[in-house]
Amino acid sequence: MKAEIKSQDNELFDFTPSYLKKEIMVLACGNILFADDGFSVHVIQKLEKILTDEEKQKIALVDAGAGAPQQVLTLIDENSKTKKIIVVDVIDWGLKPGEIKIIEKDELPNPKYHRLDIHNLPLAPILREVAEKYGIEVKVVGCQAKYISEPDVHIGLSEEVEKAVDKAVEIILRELRGD
C-alpha cells in the first residue's frame, strides 16, 4: 500500500504504514485482557527489549490486537517491502497447554475444519492469500492456550503459557537472525 499525497506546495508526503516499509513483520494477535489470549503481546514486548536498533530497522513488531490482524494484512500489496511475516498467536490444536507449534504456509488449516486461533475470525485464508499473491514467506508461532477468559476479563497468562513465552521468543529470534 503506497499512500502518497502532495501538499499545496508540491511536497510529497508518504502515509504508508511503517511496518510495510520493513522486510520482516512479526505480527502479534491477541488481547491481554483475556488470559492466555495475551500470549503474543508478551512475546512482542520481550522482542522489543531484545532486538537491536539495527535489527529494528528491518523488522517491524506489530501488536495488532485481537481484531486488527486481518486489517494489517489487507494493506500489503506489490509496493510493500515485506518478505516474511511471522504471526504469533494462541492456537487451539488440541496440544498440551503451553506447547508451541510452528505452522508453515502449506500447513495453514482450512478454517472450515480447524481454526488458526481461538477467535471467530480465521486468519489462515488471508495469510495464505498474502503469501501466494506477493511471494511472502509466512510462519505462525502458535501456542496452545490453556484458558481464554473472553468475555470475562482476566489479566495474566496461565503458568504453562507463561513458560512458553521465552521459548517462542527464542524460536522467533532464530528465525529473524538465521541462527
CATH classification at residue 88: 3.40.50.1450
Inter-CA distances, 162 with 5, 45, 110, Å: 44, 13, 28
Please check whether residue 153 lies inside any domain of the structure.
yes
Please check whether residue 2 lies inside any domain of the structure.
no
Please check whether residue 7 lies inside any domain of the structure.
no
Q: Which domain holds residue 109?
A: 21-177
pLDDT bucket at 113, cuts 50 / 70 / 90: very low
Please check whether residue 25 lies inside any domain of the structure.
yes
Tell me if the bond preceding 151 is cis, omega within 30° of 0: yes
Please check whether residue 9 lies inside any domain of the structure.
no
CB atoms within 10 A of CB 126: 17
Whole-number percent of the chain with pLDDT over 90: 54
Q: Which residues of 130-165 are buried (b: 16+ CB within 10 A; e: fewer)?
A: bbeeeebebbbbbbbbbbbbeeeebeebbebbbebb
Distance between CA atoms of residues 28 and 45, nearest Å = 10
Q: What average pLDDT does the segment 131-159 reach?
A: 93
Please check whether residue 10 lies inside any domain of the structure.
no
Please check whether residue 81 lies inside any domain of the structure.
yes
pLDDT at 34 over 60: yes
β-bridge pairing 4-6 and 12-14: antiparallel
Q: Report whether 29 contacts 86 (CB < 8 A).
A: no
Alpha-carbon 3 to chain mean position: 23
Q: What average pLDDT does the segment 91-106 reach?
A: 92
Higher pLDDT, 93 or 48: 48
pLDDT of the residue at 17: 72
pLDDT at 118 over 50: no
Q: Report whether 29 contacts 133 (CB < 8 A).
A: no
pLDDT bucket at 123, cuts 50 / 70 / 90: confident
Which residues does 49 contact at the CB level (< 8 Å), separation at least 6? none
Q: What average pLDDT does the segment 62-75 reach?
A: 75
Per the listing, cell 494462541 goes with 90
Please check whether residue 173 lies inside any domain of the structure.
yes
Element (H, E) at 59: strand 59-63
Cell of 168: 517462542
pLDDT of the residue at 114: 46
Q: What residue type is 72 in one-letter code?
A: V
Tally the domains of the chain. Answer: 1
